[in-house]
A and B are shown apart, each in its own frame.
Chain A
Amino acid sequence: GQNIDQPTEMTATEGAIVQINCTYQTSGFNGLFWYQQHAGEAPTFLSYNVLDGLEEKGRFSSFLSRSKGYSYLLLKELQMKDSASYLCAVREGGGNKLTFGTGTQLKVEL
């Protein structure tokens, strides 16, 4: 089984940088995903890490350390529209099943 931990809530200022952490425990790690979910909407794919290191995609970056069971999502130049829940999900083994964390609710303020 898997255990995935994320902070429940975070608040940040427009234009700033915020880092959302995710820690996991799994017996057969095979990739980590970040999704963004606005209230009342479906999750949308942000990033995928399977090897250690940083993956950058525009204002969003995701980092993975497999030895530490740790990932973070970095959001730069925050905008009001970035207010959403950010879900960390882990793939275990060779199948396609993902286990999701409960999400981090990010609030961007002026």
Chain B
Amino acid sequence: SQTIHQWPATLVQPVGSPLSLECTVEGTSNPNLYWYRQAAGRGLQLLFYSVGIGQISSEVPQNLSASRPQDRQFILSSKKLLLSDSGFYLCAWSLRGYPGQFFGPGTRLTVL
């Protein structure tokens, strides 16, 4: 069966510091991968998605970036965090040809 991991679970970072969040999927090959952010009291906002290694599509202009160095690894990064980057970051995966997405446990980021 497939599983998805995210770490860290929680993170507190100062404004202006860098960020690296990691997501890995097990039990499947060549998945589509997604990064979402959920701000307090708001809906899920798609940030990036990837259909393969090195292929990243950005949905929202921001100071974040994403990379996919391996088939089942998806990384969300920032060089300098802003207060507005605080939120719940969720990684998700889907199978080719099946539209449903399955979410990882999430990382709660607080920028102070």
Please give the residue numbers on chain A whose beta carbons come within 8 Å of chain B beta carbons, in ascending order: 30-31, 33, 40-45, 48, 87, 89, 91, 96-103
- Which residues of the partner chain A approach B105 to less than 8 Å between Cβ atoms? 41-42
- Which residues of the partner chain A approach B49 to less than 8 Å between Cβ atoms? 96-97
Cβ B90 vs Cβ A33 within 8 A:
no
Give the interface SS of chain A, mostly helix, strand, loop or mixed. Answer: strand
What per-residue 1/0 map shows which CB atoms of B69-111 lie under 8 Å from chain A?
0000000000000000000001000100001111111101000
Give the interface SS of chain B, mostly helix, strand, loop or mixed. Answer: strand
Cβ B43 vs Cβ A48 within 8 A:
no
Among candidates A30, A87, A97, residue contacting B46 with C-beta atoms closer than 8 Å = A97
What per-residue 1/0 map shows which CB atoms of B7-48 lie under 8 Å from chain A?
000000000000000000000000010000000001111100
Sorted nearest first, the 8 A-B pairs with minimum C-beta distance are A102-B43, A42-B103, A100-B44, A100-B43, A42-B106, A96-B32, A91-B99, A43-B103
Given the interface pairs A97-B49, A98-B46, A100-B44, the reply to whether A43 lies near B90 with Cβ below 8 Å is yes
Q: How far is the CA of A30 from the CA of B42 in the complex (A)?
A: 24
Total interface residues on B, using CB and 8 Å? 20
- Which residues of the partner chain A approach B90 to less than 8 Å between Cβ atoms? 42-43
Given the interface pairs A87-B43, A103-B43, the reply to whether A98 lies near B103 with Cβ below 8 Å is no
- Which residues of the partner chain A approach B104 to less than 8 Å between Cβ atoms? 42
Cβ A33 vs Cβ B100 within 8 A:
yes
